Amino acid sequence: MILNIDGNALTSLGKAGYGGLILKHDESFQLGFFVSVGILNILLAEIQALLIGVKLCWELGYRKLICYSSKFILLRIGLFLFIYNTLFEGNSCVDILFKTGANSSDHLVTFNEPLLCLSSTLLGDALDVSFSRT
């Protein structure tokens, strides 16, 4: 399984959130999540995204994960986990989810179908569309 996460803060508002996608190895959608965490350090938000994502994968019975994160994280836990650093451009779906979480008042929201706001970005990922940083 693939776990793609992002935790960050909206600098202008001081609100933080995180989000993630759990994808099958063919990159088809399995589960998504986002969380509002109030005001928090960016690295802590990213670590919380990783922990919640791993917990959700574990609960779904997945023990082998490849994780993509825009921050470098090293974590030793009781499952087979590779963590890769990805550029912002490669994390656009979870960037949308962290912003959704930061602007939400909900604690943990999970969803089994892609949210409408992710449709075009997931399609772009499936087609290997490159996005340039502006």
pTM: 0.72
Percent helix, strand and coil across the chain, each to the nearest 5: 35, 30, 35
Q: Where are the domains of the chain?
A: 2-126
**pLDDT by residue for the chain (134 residues), tens digit each?**
888 888 887 776 678 888 899 988 888 889 999 988 876 677 778 788 888 998 999 899 888 888 887 665 545 454 455 555 455 455 677 778 878 887 887 788 888 888 888 888 777 766 666 655 44
Architecture of the domain made up of 2-126: 2-Layer Sandwich (3.30)
* 44 sits in which H/E element: helix 42-59
